Structure 1
Amino acid sequence: MNLSLSYTVYSGLGQKSTMVIYKFPQQFAQGKHSRSIIRWNFRIAVILRCVLHQIQQFMDLFVHITIVLALLSFLS
């Protein structure tokens, strides 16, 4: 079993790009500590997902502001 932490971004054109953030070593998926490690990895994944989602929302806002400023400068 391979454990990896990835983030998938869907663009408006229907394209999907997946970025692998971190690939956990093979020994994490085996042994008696695997449940607690997987639990902690899940918590880290949830936190990273929230952070990356906020970054993506900020980038969307930045793009919209840039488009509005470009339109305003074009109209004036």
Structure 2
Amino acid sequence: MPTSSFLEIVELPDGRIVLRRAEDEEVLVTLDFSDDAKLFLQGQHVEIAKAMFNVGVQMAGRMSEGDFEHDHDEPRVLH
């Protein structure tokens, strides 16, 4: 991904929240909260999505700078 691209977070009419390049509207990442999750988050799902995208972009930046290490021989636990 070009480093000069501006990214934007957009809530689409169908309720999905996407991270995309501002200049070409290509969707890079999509978050789709269930109705139960939206209810649990009391309408704050957009703020949660912003935080999730923020951390993801920060991690991607660290990975591109070589500051992220992962032992590929060990299983990754995702939770």
Do the structures match in fold with TM over 0.5? no
Q: Whose radius of gyration is greater, 1 or 2?
A: 1
> Does 1 or 2 have the higher relative contact order (CA < 8 Å, sep 6+)?
1
- The TM-score, its normalising length taken from structure 2, stands at 0.41
Higher helix share: 1
